[in-house]
Amino acid sequence: MEVVHEAGTRMNDAVDAIRREFDTVRTGKAVPSILDGVRVEAYGGRMPLNQVATVSAPDPALLAVQPFDPSLIGAIEKAVLSAGLGLNPSNDGTLIRVPIPPLSEERRQEYARLLHRMAEEGRVSVRHSRQAANGRIRRMLKEHEIGKDEARRMMGEIQKATDERVRRIDDLLAAKEKEVMAI
């Protein structure tokens, strides 16, 4: 039973990771999680943006970045600009405003393809968890720790869990793709 539980936990972790990755994909509206991957050169190292500033979305087409330490405003602006997100921040001395431009149709399709690649990586991760669990069950069967019926039942549970997690990833993909393709 422990094998089934561990496999389910690993599969849930894969789904959560995909959900977080999907959040970083830009849609037509301002969402603070777009900047989650931005790293700022601060205090002698590279730190995540959310550790040096507060990111908010005051309106659907704008992100506001409020640094905790005003001396980092230039570094934060530079980090957002160089993050490869296609965003152009503006700095008024105390606050960084990041306008979110509308996506072109070509860019929307590019993001949709990226989402499909991310989802496939998530499905592969879930399947790897299934494969590892099934391998452990086969080893237990071979070493006579469990019987054939118990092994078959456990593998069936793991397959059900795999199907459920893959379905969840597909649902997340469909929702995010709809959000990206919406004009």
Tens of pLDDT, residue by residue over 97-121, are 888 877 778 878 888 898 999 999 9
Reply yes or no on whether the pLDDT at 183 is more than 70.
Answer: no
Query: Which pLDDT belongs to residue 107?
Result: 79
Report the DSSP beta bridge partners of residue 98: 63
pLDDT, average across residues 41-49:
86
In this predicted structure, which of 2-16, 76-90, 113-127, 147-161 has the lowest mean pLDDT? 76-90
Is residue 63's pLDDT more than 90? no
Least confident of 47-56, 82-91, 107-116: 82-91
Mean predicted confidence (pLDDT) in 61-90? 85
Is the whole model's pTM more than 0.75, yes or no?
A: no
Q: What is the structure's pLDDT at 100?
A: 82
More confident: 94 or 166: 166
pLDDT exceeds 90 at position 79: no
Q: Is the pLDDT at 27 greater than 90, yes or no?
A: no
The token pair that represents 94 in the structure block: 């105390």
